[in-house]
A and B are shown apart, each in its own frame.
Chain A
Amino acid sequence: MATPLTDKKKQVVLTGNSAVAYAMKQIDPDVCAAYPITPSTAIMEEFSSYYADGKVSTELVTVESEHSAMSACVGAAAAGARVMTATSSQGLALMWEVLYIASGMRLPVVMAVVNRALSAPINIHCDHSDSMGARDSGWIQIYSETVQEAYDNLFQAVRIAEDHRVLTPAMVCLDGFITSHAIENLTLIEDGDVKDFVGEFEPKQSLLDTGHPITMGAMTLPEYYIDFKYEQSKAIRGAKEVVIEVGREFGERFGREYGLMECYRLDDADVAIVVLSSAAGTTKVAVDRLRDQGKKVGLLRPRLYRPFPHEEIASALMGVKAVCVLDRADSMSGFGGPLFTDVRSALYGRDSAPKVIGRIFGLGGRDYKVEDAEAVFDELYNVLETGEAGKLTGYITI
Chain B
Amino acid sequence: MKKDCEEKKEVPLGGVIHKAGNAHDYVTGGWRKLRPVLDKDKCTNCLICWVMCPDSAVIAEDGKMVGFDLEHCKGCGICAMECPDKVKAITMEEEEA
Contact = CB atoms under 8 A, between A and B. Distances in A.
Verify that A and B bind, or say they do not: yes
B27 to A, nearest CB: 13
Contacts of A106: 13-14
Interface in A209-235: 212-218, 220, 224, 227-228, 230-231
Interface residues of A, number: 20
A215 B16 contact: yes
A167 interface: yes
Nearest to B10: A227
A224 B11 CA distance: 8
A212 B18 contact: yes
B16 A231 contact: no
Nearest to B9: A227
Main secondary structure of the interface of B (DSSP, over half): loop
A107 B15 CA distance: 11
B17 interface: yes
Q: How large is the interface on B (under 10, 10 to 19, 20 to 34, 35 or more residues)?
A: 10 to 19
A104 B15 contact: yes
A6 interface: no
Interface string B4-28: 0010110101111110100000000
Contact of A204 (B8, B13, B20): B13
A104 B14 contact: yes
A105 B12 CA distance: 10
A205 interface: yes
A204 B14 CA distance: 11
A275 B69 CA distance: 63
Contacts of A224: 9, 11, 15
Given A213-B20, A227-B9, A218 B14 contact: no
A181 B18 CA distance: 46
A217 B15 contact: yes
Given A167-B13, A216-B14, 18 more contacts: A104-B15, A106-B13, A107-B14, A204-B13, A205-B14, A205-B16, A212-B18, A214-B18, A215-B16, A216-B16, A217-B15, A218-B15, A218-B16, A218-B17, A224-B9, A227-B8, A228-B11, A231-B11
Interface of A: 104-107, 167, 204-205, 212-218, 220, 224, 227-228, 230-231
